[in-house]
Structure 1
Amino acid sequence: MELPVVKPSLVTLAGDFFTTYRFSIGPVLGSGMSGEVVLATSLLSSKHKRAVKILSLLTADGGARNKKLFDREVSILRGLSHPHVIKHSISVRCPEYLAICTHYCPNGTLTSKLDTMTPELCNKYFIQLTCAVRYLNDIQRIIHCDIKPDNIFINENNDPVLGDFGISMSTFGGTKRYRAPELKCRMFVDPCKVDVYSLGVVLWCMMFQSKPTSDTVYECLDDVDMLMAAPEPQGWCLANSSLQKPVTLCWISLF
């Protein structure tokens, strides 16, 4: 059986996803608290590949937590359509696990590109990612909550694609060094600004070709020498919009 090209995009199987849809299970592409992602290659055509997140149902709680994560992520992915947001193919309930199948981006994650990042590529990626975040926040009213280089994939056209919506809409989720500082105080936070702050940290990573070295990346704004070394216009965006101290985050005016 081949993957359906039309709805339903959520099905229940009596057997195994990979056997039913004739996929071989390749290497693990990544893992996190919401599941493991593996490469699936079609047995009918080796050029047809997908990324499949697997959430086990054989857990101590009987899969209850993973069922909630699965339902939330699937409900979000099914309604999204943007060139820089991961494309959902199909999601499947199997007897022992749940599977979320998305398009596969063959050029790795943004993390793998940091060492060779150029100012031109940084500018391109940042604009494309900002478009994706604006689409999610302003049009879909969805908060990603975990924007970071490991969750940004590079597709076959060398464009960034934002993926992994496993903790989307969870205000207090996210990876520590990419989280807005307001969240530490449990104070009122505009959810959209949480994503904007994380996007600012990603900009910092691309500009300085490194993952953040501190939980308070916004303090780099106090380092005049660092900002002077930053290329324009990215340096201006970093200083004026993205990484502001608590609670003064604002949208980036690039449009």
Structure 2
Amino acid sequence: MSSRPPSRPPRLPGYEYEQLLGSGGFADVFLYRQFRPQRRVAIKVLLSNVLDESVRRLFDAEANVMAQMSTHPSIVTIHQAEVSDDHRPYIVMEYCPRPNYGLRFRKERITVAEALRVGVQIAGAVETAHRAGILHRDIKPANILVTDYNRPALTDFGISIATGQGDDIEDSQGMSIPWSPPEFFADPPRSDVRSDVFSLAATVYSLLAGQTPFERRGQRNTASDLIHRISSEPLHPLERPDVPAELNRLLSIAMAKEPIGRYDTALAFGRSLQQVELSLSLPVTQMDVLDDRASGTAHSAEDDELDMHTRIRKVATVDPDSAGTTGPGTKRRLDPYAGVAPALGSPAGPGRAPHPGGVDGAAVGAGAVESTMLRPASSALGSPSTAPPDPGPAGGEWQRAQKPSTPAWPFVLLAAVFVVVLGVGTSLGVRHFLVPEPDPIETTQINVATQKPKAPGEPTSIDLQLITEGEGTDPGMVRVAWEPPDSVTQDDYYQIRWKDMPEGYADEYGVWREAYGRNSITLPIPPQLPDPCIEVRTVNPSGLASAPVEECLSTD
């Protein structure tokens, strides 16, 4: 809820106002009763004092995008978009009476089964939006409503953009920092479908953790603190005993710092959640995605499987088992994320391992019964189809003739090998325990020059770019970038800190922060200090550091 007082609900023909549902930065949401057809609807109304034309364009774009997507069962339905008599644009939406996940995840313990189900269903909605060319860019628990049928529904496409515009984001207003990926805070900010994958995974993480992914209990959690942790600190695994290791692994993949390390699509992330459901013996949640095969893509065995599950209006149900089909001619799938998160081992669990020899337990059991039924009690073990002749006076000679004789030479050879091994072992034991080894002869190296390790080169072109300004004791954020030295190697890394911090600031701002494999970092600015200076130095694996290079930030 917003801290400002709500606006006056407009008088809308055909609707009767009931109550306020919520308030945001630019709009209020009211509950109305529609006369024809009779139903309760949620109406989002833009504030009358919003004169920013870009906000009005975003509001209109939200109505168009949600109307385009609202046939999906996990996206809130849009009924109408108009302008009221007092010139305020409004959107008439499906009313979801149950508490949204933004209210629930901090107040109650959400089960693993529910979090997986929500993740799979919203992954289908996000994948549908992506296939229509739309990035959501604000996926978070509060934007997942719950319908009368207890189904999650994604809403608030107010800051969505076309997928082709992800590298040219001019306005980041409205983005929710706790669930935003690191590339949102880059210079310039950027986004693609993998950015929505990060936010969706962060939402699933929040449902299970009861807090946002980079929030730290007992520590300061300002916007600048969260941006720093999102950009540089690793994701802490969920410590709930009911969260399996494979779920922690897929969340770390989906929330990798670099987009290239994440799942390529929301569909791939949803399939991974379905595989966790399978491993936990939970009912597999169906994932609804846009069926775009009419565009001329080649058919495959998986497409044929999807034909059996087609729903309405070109929406197809994705079956998780279709991704793991095996049979003659199929190849073993490699793990494309082994470099992001370590593999967990063989997926085969107890009771699933195939029987040696390639036959299942039922076949072995049937074969054993058949052999027992056909084999006479007095016969030797052999083929079940071999039966002795009718015993007569010479029956004993026949059985003796059929009994195989065992040669003696294997036993003689085994005994000889045992004697040799015993003799060699005894000799080695006596030498080791009873005969002392001679002292090594001391030698001295002559005329060998010892070369002192060389320190790495200094970084160059230190650049400080102000991201946010601090207010009072709340620090701002600055992006520090530099150019690596000519002699840098892939094992070298960098250390960055604020120089000459006074007492009380040294422990937080004056410590060295490390950057591996990159030449930029985002840091909080020490508040209320005039023109603070940054130090950057190069460090090699042996611990030798270059001289620090200094650059000061002007606070004018």
2:24 match? 32
- Show the counterpart of 1:204: 205
Q: Distance in 2 between matches of 1:175 and 1:243?
A: 16
SS at match of 2:194: helix
Amino acid aligned to 1:49: R
Q: Are the aligned partners of 1:57 and 1:64 in contact in 2 as well (CA < 8 Å)?
A: no
Return the alpha-carbon distance in structure 2 between the equivalents of residues 109 and 76 of structure 1. Answer: 21
1:101 equivalenced with 2:92 (yes/no): yes
Q: What is the Cα deviation at residue 144 of structure 1?
A: 0.7
Question: How is 1:211-226 mapped onto 2 (pairs within 5 angstroms)?
Answer: 211-212=212-213, 213=215, 215=226, 216=229, 219=233, 221=235, 223=236, 226=239
1: distance between equivalents of 2:230 and 2:240? 13
> Larger C-alpha radius of gyration, 1 or 2?
2
Work out whether 1:90 is the aligned partner of 2:103. Answer: no
Say whether the 8 Å CA contact 1:201–1:217 is kept in structure 2: no
1:120 has 2:110 as partner:
no
Give the share of equivalent positions with the same residue, in percent. 22
> Is 1:64 matched with 2:53?
yes
TM-score for both structures, normalised by structure 2? 0.39
In structure 2, the residue matched to 1:13 is none
Compared CA separation, residues 58 and 165, structure 1 to 2 (3 A): same
- Contact residue 182 and residue 230 of structure 2 kept, 8 A: no
With over 3 angstroms needed to count, the CA separation of the structure-2 counterparts of 1:220 and 1:50, relative to structure 1, is farther
The aligned counterpart of 1:179 is 180
Instruction: Give the C-alpha shift of residue 43 in structure 1.
Output: 5.6
Kept in 2: contact 1:227–1:235 (CA 8 A): no
Q: Deviations over 1:47-101 (max 9, x none)?
A: 7211111103444x3x634421222112212211210011101011123311111
Specify the code of the residue in structure 2 equivalent to 1:68: R
Deviates more, 1:143-152 or 1:179-188: 179-188
Deviation at 1:202, TM superposition (A): 0.3
Q: Secondary structure at the match of 1:230?
A: coil
Distance between the aligned counterparts of 1:117 and 1:97, measured in 2? 38
Name 1:242's counterpart in structure 2.
Answer: 254
Superposed CA deviations along residues 144-190 of structure 1, whole A, max 9, x for unmatched, are 11100111101111111000111111843511111111121135744
Using the alignment, how far apart are the partners of 1:33 and 1:52 within structure 2? 16
Name whichever structure is richer in helix by fraction: 1
TM-score by length of 1: 0.80
Q: Distance in 2 between matches of 1:228 and 1:181?
A: 29
The CA deviation at 1:33 is: 2.5
Task: Spell out, residue by residue over 1:99-148, the C-alpha distance to the aligned partner (whole angstroms, 9 max, x if none).
Answer: 111101111211233213111111111111111111111x2111111100
2:128 partner amino acid: Y
Indicate the RMSD between aligned Cα atoms, in angstroms. 2.7
Q: Does the aligned pair in 2 maintain the 1:242–1:249 contact within 8 Å?
A: yes
Q: Secondary structure at the match of 1:20?
A: coil
Q: Contact between 1:58 and 1:97, CA under 8 Å: does it hold in 2?
A: no
Note if contact 2:76-2:153 (Cα within 8 Å) is conserved in structure 1: yes
Gaps of 5+ in 1: 1-15
Q: Which has the higher contact order (CA 8 A, sep 6+)?
A: 1
Tell me the alpha carbon deviations over residues 166-222 of structure 1, each in whole angstroms, 9 at most, x when there is no partner.
Answer: 11118435111111111211357442111111101101101212234162358453x
Q: In the comparison of the two structures, how many residue pairs are matched?
A: 233
Alignment-mate amino acid for residue 113 of structure 2? E
**Is the contact made by 1:180 and 1:197 (CA closer than 8 Å) also made in structure 2?**
yes
Give the aligned partner of residue 122 of structure 2. 129
Give the match for residue 55 of structure 1.
Answer: 46
Match of residue 7 from structure 1: none
Find the aligned partners of 2:77 and 2:138 in 1 and give their Cα distance: 17
**Shift in alpha-carbon separation, 1:18–1:119, aligned structure 2, 3 A:** same
1:168 paired with 2:168, answer no
CA contact (8 A) 1:26 1:41 kept: no
Change (3 A) 1:109 1:42: same
Tell me if structure 2 keeps the 8 A contact 1:23–1:41: yes
> SS of the counterpart of 1:92?
strand
Distance in structure 2 (CA, Å) of the matches to 1:106 and 1:160: 12
- Whether the 8 Å contact between 1:155 and 1:161 is mirrored in structure 2 is yes
Q: Matched residues in 2 for 1:224 and 1:149: separation?
A: 19
Match among 59, 67, 84 for residue 78 of structure 1: 67
